Amino acid sequence: MTGEIPLLIVLLILFIAALVRSTFGFGDAIVGMPLLALIVPMKIATPLMGFMGPTLALPLLVREWRHLHPRSAIRLILATLAGIPVGLFYLRDANERVVTAVLAAVIILFSLYSLFRPGLLRLRSDRAALPFGFAAGILGAAYNANGPPVVFYGALRGWKPERFRATLQGYFLPTGAAVAVSQGIAGFWTKPVFWTYVYSLPLVVLAIFIGSKFRRKIPEQKFNRVIYGLLLVVGAGLLIKAIG
C-alpha cells in the first residue's frame, strides 16, 4: 500500500464492509470488493477481503452461538466441500460472462418475487441445505460467489435474525478460513496486505460494536425484506459485471 490517502480510503472501505457484515451477517464482500478494486490492485483487494471473512465471522459467531442451527451449518459446509471440485474442474472453462449473467438473473428475479410476494416460499427441513451448499461450492470455486446460495437458504428457512446471522457465521468461518489459507498458499499474503489488515483491526472492532446497535433497530418483520434488498443489489452488480 503506497501513500497515506489510499491507505485511509482502503481502511474506510474495510470499516464500511465490516459494518454491513456485523449488521446483517453477510455482505462485506459485496461492498468491499468492488470498492477496493477501484483503489488497489486485485492482488491486494482479494486477500484483504479473504482476511476479513473469518476475522468477522469469529466474533459474530461467539456472540450469537446460542442461535446457531448446527445441522444446517454442517450440511452447508460438507456440501460446499463436495461442490468445490466440480467448480474447479468442470466449470473453469465455461463462459464466465454467461454463467454470471444467469446467476444474476436468478438472484434478481427471486429477490423481486420474495420482496413482493413474501412468505410464499419456505424451506421446512435442513435437508435442503445440501443442494444450496453444493451450489455454493461450485460457484465459490469457479467464480468466488459462494455467498448468494447460502444467504438464499437462510432467508428461505424463515429464521429469526439471530439464527440467520449465527448460522451464516457458522458456515462462513471454516469456509472463509479455507479460502484465506488457500490465498496464502497461492502467494497473495504480502507485507502490504498484512499490515493493512493489522491497521484495520481497530476499525473492525468498532464496526462490530456499531453493527450490534444497528441490528437491534431493525424490526424482525422487516429483516428478510432487507436481506432480499441486499441480494437484489448483489444481482444487479453481477449483471453489470457480466455485461461488462
| 95-104 pLDDT tens trace | 767 777 877 8
CA atoms of 70 and 72, how far apart (whole Å): 5
CA angle 184, 95, 241 (to 5 degrees): 70
Selected residue with higher pLDDT from 27 and 142? 27
Closest CA to 193 of 54, 40, 38: 40
Closest CA to 193 of 202, 178, 203, 183: 183
pLDDT greater than 60 at residue 3: no
CA atoms of 10 and 4, how far apart (whole Å): 10
Q: Give the torsion sign (CA, 88, 90, 93, 99).
A: negative
pLDDT tens string 23-64: 888 878 777 877 887 888 878 888 888 899 899 999 989 988
pLDDT tens string 222-242: 777 787 787 788 788 778 877
CA distances from 151 to 47, 95, 159 (A): 22, 25, 11
Per-residue confidence (pLDDT) for residue 94, from 0 to 100: 66
Tell the residue number behind the cell numbers 477481503, with chain if given: 49
Output the nine-digit C-alpha cell for 90.
468442470
The helix/strand/coil state of 75 is helix
